Structure 1
């Protein structure tokens, strides 16, 4: 990989994680084989616990296409990709002057949040809790007795 222009723009967490993987951060369990700084390993370890580890270039591309219908700044889109808000309450602090820009279009923003949840994959810890919830709901629907701790 060759850097064509330094400081060409901000990167998403996915792009940083992809870069660290390309340098060998994910393939070096001993952390001594590849020439990667300890701070880069710390960043890699952190990003592996965020939604960035489940994202792909195709997913982000699809999301960027959907963002064209909503008037958002590049920095706001970048933060949405990195944070992956799953409710309007989480989206509110990301968007500058939300009330003046989207106050009357609350329904549009609710649809946008649904798009975010649908397109961008959740972080690994949230995926596990969603799977456990779905399993619990299936067991309850099958008529099995649920035990409660008293």
Structure 2
């Protein structure tokens, strides 16, 4: 791959995931049929399990149109897409000078727009109790 224009712009996690998919990356690095390396497959696997894993081009386009009314910078829109905030605290961490730029009702409206536009992140697999204890005995097992 050849870089045509270095630092041309920032990419969202969804765009990176889409690029890796086009290079043949899969969640199974051994099943990769394209020119994707093992590390690219690992990055792809991580991104599929992040909020980017549930996005589509149409959803991103719709979000960007709806986000225009909140006067966010490009970097802020990118962070919202990548992180999908669900609380006011997260919004305040992403948006610079949020207290000055948005009232609390505007933050609530923004969160509602994010919730209605961006799908929830993929569910994390449940870890079984045995794996969490990592071989440790429960109190009941010690008594027996």
Query: Does residue 125 of the first structure (1) align with residue 114 of the second (2)?
Result: no
Which 4+ stretches in 1 moved above 3 angstroms? Answer: 1-6
- The aligned residue for residue 116 of structure 1 is 114
Say whether the 8 Å CA contact 1:17–1:47 is kept in structure 2: yes
Counterpart of 1:13? Answer: 13
Residue aligning to 1:134: none
The number of equivalent residue pairs is 126
Per-residue CA deviations over 1:21-46 (Å, capped at 9, x if unaligned) read 11111286525643222221221111
SS at match of 2:120: coil
Hey, what's the Cα distance between the residues in 1 that align with 2:38 and 2:7? Answer: 23
1:1-150 equivalent positions in 2, closer than 5 A? 5-26=5-26, 30-31=30-31, 33-102=33-102, 105-125=103-123
- 8 Å Cα contact 1:28-1:34 kept in structure 2: no
* Aligned-pair CA distance for 1:99: 1.5
Where does the alignment leave 5 or more consecutive residues of structure 1 unmatched? 130-150
Q: CA RMSD in A?
A: 2.5
Question: What is the Cα deviation at residue 48 of structure 1?
Answer: 1.1
Whole-angstrom distance in 1 between the partners of 2:36 and 2:18? 14
CA shift for structure 1 position 4 = 5.5
Q: Is the contact made by 2:52 and 2:121 (CA closer than 8 Å) also made in structure 1?
A: yes
What is the distance in 1 between the residues matched to 2:17 and 2:32? 19
Q: Is the 8 A contact 2:49 2:122 kept in 1?
A: yes
Give the TM-score normalised by the residue count of structure 1.
0.74
